[in-house]
Structure 1
Amino acid sequence: MTQSAAACQGPQPSNLALFRQRLPRKPYHTDRFGDGLRIRDVQKALTSRYIQFNGPTHCYWLVYDIDRNGAVLDWYDRGAPPPTIVAQNPDNGHAHLIYGLEVPVRTAPDGKSGPLRYAAAVDCALRDILGADIGYAGLVCKNPLHPHWRVTEWETRLYTLGDLDSWLDLNSYSDRRKRLPDYGLGRNCTLFEKLRLWAYKAIRQGWPDADRWYEAVLTRARAYNDFESPLSENEVRATAKSVAKWTHRNLSDDGFRALQAERGRAGGKASRGGGRPLGKNLLKSDVYESVVTLKNSGMSNRSIAEKLGVSASTVFRYLQDRKNKGAP
């Protein structure tokens, strides 16, 4: 079951080969953290002891830093799922436990927020059961294709999130109203939620052009990336780009002014006793846009339904449809 990474010049076990295939095109890498991280072509980066294992938009591997002697088997004693790959330091027994996902989770915010939140909950719970280092930044890991490390493969089959869930207790992370811990994928969720809520309001303060708006969103994203172990610059840029693009396209000055005018006309009619609720005066597509805009402004579903004169179930259905389309 154990195979040294020194044999990587010959035929590789399937998951080590997959690890190589999934690496970013130009990953961060280093031999010693004191020298800082460099970015180079993957072929050159592979000669380093530490390498970036996930890109800024997808999570293929969940990696945990175990700073205890005997980490290669410690997971078994804790009742955790067997890792896909373990890269162990032969000098002190510390290791990185690497879990491969069958279907990668899209971490860029144009992906579905539900799967990302679920993956983040699994990530947090797995870290808990393993007793892994919460200060681990999760950007680079011990390169299992480098001969310096003692490499072991355990589970040959890649995991689904459901597979990992069956080993874990997610009760502490199931309440979507609560913020996830600021490590692992929880940081991606927190950054996206804080950034999009800020952007929905901030874009109305001048309606800047696309380039200026992106710079403003990126500046704010960097400020929000104040975690104890911050996300990489590439991940922050990917999140800022997605939020800036969606808000600039969907929350335009003209669209917001038209909604405000329509709300004003409806309010005037209602005050004279001769008007109908706003939703009765709009086409279905207009109601949809009004629901989205009012939700983005911070109104509750019930308040939106009362304002537009539609049912609460209609508001819920429109918002669910928007979420399924991947909008922030």
Structure 2
Amino acid sequence: MSNVALKLFNDRLPHKPYFTDELQSGLRIAGKERAILAKYIQFNQPHAQFWLCFDVDRPGAAIDWSDCNAPAPTLTIMNKANGHAHLLYALKTAVRTAPDGKIKPLRYAAAVESALREKLGADVGYSGLICKNPNHDSWQIAVWQPELYTLDWLADSLNLNSANDKKILPDYGLGRNCTLFDKTRKWAYRAIRQGWPEYEQWLQACYERASAYNLQFVSPLEENEVYGISKSIAKWTMNNFSEISFSSFVEATHCSDIQAKRGSIGGKVSRGGGRPIGSVNIKSTEQKKPWLSLGISRSTYYRKIIR
């Protein structure tokens, strides 16, 4: 394996990664110097994703990415016994998943990740927390792309139309962060109006709601990520929503004059039934008053024709 690629991997490790030698034994956490000796290790930092990693469980996974017309991985880490592999793509700029991160870049990264996972045929149940450690001699390592990827560069090889908001897997990789943020914030916009709680009480409520949503994922996010998302939403809603500002909003948008104008507009739009019959123009006299074209009265029309 290239010393440059190995150094990049090691430099980007968390200060205290999760690690294990046997997946069945669970994970431990320790300093980088100890964790780097294990067979499996946490490769992304808690709030910064420097790598997109995919778990491909089929023989030949370390090389058949080219048959899928996928971009070349930065490195592949293969199980010598069965040919299954982790495929890692190194990002030039980390995707920030911290509470102060922006949601739009996160959505874009989730779309790229989802489309690339689909192209590679990677495991949708992979949590993305730990990977095979390239420092360990149990695995066969290969470096394919020495240059660091940007999301745009990866996107050039992908069809992001198949990874729009509706298609991004809501419980896979970065899609979990997007899903958890969206579901919790939409709940929070309504819930904060129910009593206008103090901040600590409100933060706990947001955390409990986000934790409940998180449990619906096949591979839930780590607790610190859930707390970070909850705190971000709690602070924003507390700073931007208040009983006074909400009352002012209702008063400004739901006064009797505005409601009357809305009602008159709605009446004009819906007059005449609002639905065309066959190919008849909805605005035509025949559509609005069909009895006139028949030369009969309205009452006769409804009594004899419409029965």
- For the criterion TM > 0.5, the same-fold answer is yes
Residue 209 (structure 2) pairs with residue 220 (structure 1)? yes
Judging by fraction of residues, say which structure has more helix. Answer: 1
Match among 3, 14, 20 for residue 24 of structure 1:
14
| Structure 2: segments with no counterpart, 5+ residues | 262-307
What is the rounded CA distance, in whole Å, between the counterparts of 1:40 and 1:79 in structure 2?
39
Q: Secondary structure at the match of 1:121?
A: helix
What is aligned with 1:127?
117
User: Normalising by the residue count of structure 1, what TM-score does the alignment of the two structures yield?
Assistant: 0.74
What is the rounded CA distance, in whole Å, between the counterparts of 1:270 and 1:209 in structure 2?
33
User: Normalising by the residue count of structure 2, what TM-score does the alignment of the two structures yield?
Assistant: 0.78
| Structure 1: segments with no counterpart, 5+ residues | 4-11, 274-328
Q: Is the 8 A contact 2:99 2:231 kept in 1?
A: no
Q: Is the 8 A contact 1:56 1:238 kept in 2?
A: no
Give runs of aligned pairs for residues 1-328 of structure 1, distance below 5 A. 3=1, 13-174=3-164, 176=165, 178=166, 180-181=168-169, 182-225=171-214, 226-263=216-253, 267=255
Q: Mean Cα displacement is larger for which, 20-29 or 159-168?
A: 20-29
Percent of aligned positions that are identical:
53
What is aligned with 2:289?
none
Q: Is the 8 A contact 2:168 2:175 kept in 1?
A: yes
Query: Who wins on radius of gyration, i.e. which is larger?
Result: 2
Q: Secondary structure at the match of 2:66?
A: helix
The number of aligned residues is: 259
- Amino acid of the structure 2 residue aligned with 1:205: Q
- Amino acid of the structure 2 residue aligned with 1:243: I
Larger RCO, structures 1/2 (Cα 8 Å, 6+ apart): 1
What is aligned with 1:314?
none
CA deviation after TM superposition for structure 1 residue 145, in Å: 2.0
What is aligned with 2:302?
none
1:122-153 deviations in Å (ceiling 9; x for gaps): 11111111111111111111111222222111
What is aligned with 1:309?
none
Q: Is the 8 A contact 1:109 1:192 kept in 2?
A: no
